[in-house]
């Protein structure tokens, strides 16, 4: 079995976001897949995208579901919609969970998650720096 997400993680290691873009219809997709869900085309090119988006939804977790690489509980899990249309599950960093608001603008940052390496997280668009 081929791990189709390897280019995503390689880009994250360089502090970049990259997703598959269908060579036939231009649809940008995540998760990575061998077939475009829009046109069923099989050809795709990994393309870097801007890291600006909107917090579409979020939840606060009060139980740790992994042993390493996560923040202490409670922690948030956000669904961010990027300008390219991709929705990505992630953490929102840089502000208390009580200040999270659906619709707030966010931008990508990168967090060191132990054995997992750099992972994309998001911070309020008005803040400076990365995790």
State residue 1's pLDDT score: 45
Both tokens of residue 55?
A: 């917090």
State residue 127's pLDDT score: 64
Q: Note the pLDDT tens digit of each residue in 17-74.
A: 999 999 999 999 999 999 999 999 999 999 999 999 999 999 999 998 877 767 789 9
Other beta carbons within 10 Å of 8 = 21
The answer to whether the predicted template modeling score (pTM) of the entire model surpasses 0.85 is yes
**Secondary structure of 88-108 in HEC code, one letter for each residue:** EEECECCCCHHHCCCCCEEEE
């Amino acid at each position: 079995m081929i791990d189709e997400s390897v280019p995503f993680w390689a880009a994250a290691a360089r502090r970049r976001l990259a997703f598959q873009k269908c060579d036939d219809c231009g649809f940008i997709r995540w998760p990575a897949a061998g077939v475009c869900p829009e046109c069923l085309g099989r050809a795709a090119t990994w393309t870097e995208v801007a890291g600006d988006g909107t917090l579409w939804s979020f939840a606060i977790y009060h139980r740790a579901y992994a042993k390493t690489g996560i923040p202490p509980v409670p922690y948030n899990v956000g669904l961010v919609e990027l300008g390219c249309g991709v929705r990505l599950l992630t953490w929102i960093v840089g502000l208390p969970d009580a200040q999270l608001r659906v619709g707030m603008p966010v931008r990508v940052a990168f967090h060191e998650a132990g054995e997992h390496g750099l992972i994309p997280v998001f911070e309020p668009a008005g803040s400076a720096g990365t995790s």
